[in-house]
Structure 1
C-alpha cells in the first residue's frame, strides 16, 4: 500500500518504526511544525520528524490541513491509506476523503471510554483497572469513528503515565502491523461506538498537579502516578514547592491532620484525609530528583505540615 503517516510525539514513534520495519515505509510523513523547547527555547523537531529524517522519508509540516493547497498536496501523494497517531491537528472532511482506504487512528484507550487529549492520565486518575488501544476509522467528530480493533492492557498499581504510555505505544504499533493485511483487503468492519458509554479525557492542566491532602491516600497516589512525567504532582513545605515523583498509598492512618509529615525509616509518611501516603521520591526546587531518604538527610520534616 501507498501509506501516508501523520503523528507528532513519542507515542507515535513505535507505530512509524513498525511500518518502516515491516516494509510498509510511508511515502510521506505529516507532523506538526518545529516548536520551541528547553531552557533555550530553541526550535525542536518532533520525535516523529526525527525518525522520518533518519530513514529519508519526506516530511510535511503544515500549520493546518485546511485549504485547497494542503488538499492538493495530499492528492498528489495518492495514498491508499492514512495512518494517524497523536498527530495533534484536525483532519478536515475533504482530507479524510482522499485516501482510497480511508484514514485510521490509533487511540490510547478502549473507546468509547476516554475520548480526547489525555486518555492515559485520566485512566490512571480514575482508578481504571485496565485500559488499552483502539484502532478506529477517523470521522469529523473527535475520536467518534467506528472501532476496527482493540487491545487490552492492565493498569498496574505502580504504573505511571510514562510506563503506561510506553506499553500502549508498543501495543498500538503491534496491532497496526497485524491488521494491515485486513485493512488492505477492506475486511475490517467497524463497530459503532455506544454514545451512552462515552467519557472525555480533558487536557491536563498544570493546576491539577497541586496535591490536596484532604483527599484519601489512594486518590493522591493516583495523582502522583498520572502526573509523572508531566506536570508532576506537587505540594509546599514552608512556602517552598516540592515535586513528588513517586509515592505509595498505605491503609494505616496517622493520628495527625492531613498534610502532616512523619519520618518513617528511609522514607516519610504524610497524613491524608483517609490513609497515609509514603513519599518515595521527591524534588526540591532547583535540585535533582532524589530519594526521600536523601531529602530527609538535609531537611528534617517530622511533624511539619505540607500544603495549605
Structure 2
C-alpha cells in the first residue's frame, strides 16, 4: 500500500535513533535521512558513521551528509526529495528559512525540555545542573529562531534525586519517540492539535557543554557539585585531584554537614566515600576512575593506597 506522507528525517547521535525508528514504524514513508558527515574515531582515527546513519543504512534508506544546507545545490537536492514533512532530532546543522519552507507541513523538532525552558544544545544536563524537579519533551513546529517555534505536543517526567545525564537522556529519547509517533499518526489522520505559542516568560538557554566545566570547584556548595557530577555522567564526567592523583568522579552525594575546613580540604578517606569540604556542606565521593583505568568504588582505590584510609587532611586542599 502506498504511504500518503513523504518524510525526511534529520538527526545524528544516539538520542535521535528511537525517533528515526518511530518514523520507520509509522504509516509515513521515510524517503531520505540527513545526518552529519562521518567523524574520525579511535586510535586509528578512521571515519565512523553516526548512530542515525547506521540505522538508516540497515533500513535501506538513502543517506545525505552535506556539510551545510545553505548552498543552492543543497537546497535543490533537499527539494528533489519532495518531502511533505521534515523531522529534526539533534541534527547539529542550522536549517535556513529556504529549507524550512520546502515541506508541505513544515518541519518538526523533538526537543528534550519543556519549552521555553532550556532552549539550545544541552537541555538535559542544564536541567540537572539547575536542580529542576521536572523535565520532558516537546514536539515543536520549527521556525527560524533557536527553539522558538510553537509546541504541538508535550510529555512530562519528574526528575529523581539521583538522576544522571545518562538516565534522563535515555528516558527522554524514549518519550521523544513516543511523542513523535503520536504526532505523525495524528497528522495522517488529520487530527493534529493546533500549535501553541511558547510563553514569553521563563525563557532559559542550555548552552553547549564544555569539558572545562567538568573540573569541580570546591568553593561551590556541595549540592551544586553533586548536581554537576550527576549531570556530567556519562559525559564529560566531573573530575578533581585527590592525594596528588587526577580522578574522574562518577558518583557523589552532598552531605548537609557543618565544618570549619577550607573548601577543597579532605575531611575523611573511608571505604564508603571520600568527604571533601565545600563552601557549604560536604561532598562524599563514592565512585571514581583513574587515568586510563576503569570505574571503581572508592574502597577499591583505597585498597591500592592503604595509608589514606580513615585519614583526614583538613589542612591541605584536595
TM range (shorter): over 0.9
Deviation at 1:25, TM superposition (A): 4.8
The TM-score normalised by the length of structure 1 is 0.95
Q: Which of 148, 155, 168 matches 2:172?
A: 168
Cα distance in 2 for partners of 1:239, 1:255 equals 23
**Equivalent in the alignment of 1:229:** 234
Cα distance in 1 for partners of 2:43, 2:123 equals 28
* Pair 1:198 & 2:207 matched: no
1:11-30 pair list within 5 angstroms: 11-30=15-34
Q: Say which SS state the counterpart of residue 188 (structure 1) adopts.
A: coil
Deviation at 1:195, TM superposition (A): 2.8
Bigger mean CA deviation after superposition, 166-175 or 205-214: 205-214
**Equivalent in the alignment of 1:283:** 289
Deviation at 1:53, TM superposition (A): 0.8
Deviation at 1:23, TM superposition (A): 4.4
Q: Which of 243, 265, 270 matches 1:264?
A: 270
Q: Say which SS state the counterpart of residue 197 (structure 1) adopts.
A: coil
Q: Is the 8 A contact 2:271 2:302 kept in 1?
A: no
Q: Which of 178, 181, 196 matches 2:182?
A: 178
Q: Say which SS state the counterpart of residue 105 (structure 1) adopts.
A: strand
* Pair 1:55 & 2:59 matched: yes
**Equivalent in the alignment of 1:44:** 48
Q: Is the 8 A contact 2:26 2:184 kept in 1?
A: no
Bigger mean CA deviation after superposition, 294-303 or 10-19: 294-303
Deviation at 1:287, TM superposition (A): 1.5
**Equivalent in the alignment of 1:10:** 14
Q: Say which SS state the counterpart of residue 170 (structure 2) adopts.
A: helix
Instruction: Give 4+ residue runs of structure 1 displaced > 6 Å after superposition.
Output: none
Q: Which of 78, 83, 92 matches 1:88?
A: 92
1:211-230 pair list within 5 angstroms: 211-230=216-235
**Equivalent in the alignment of 2:312:** 303
Cα deviation 1:163-211 (Å, max 9, x = unaligned): 1001000001001111213233263311111233211011111111111
Deviation at 1:284, TM superposition (A): 1.4
**Equivalent in the alignment of 2:213:** 208
Q: Say which SS state the counterpart of residue 244 (structure 1) adopts.
A: strand
Cα distance in 1 for partners of 2:40, 2:258 equals 46
In structure 2, the gaps of 5 or more residues are none
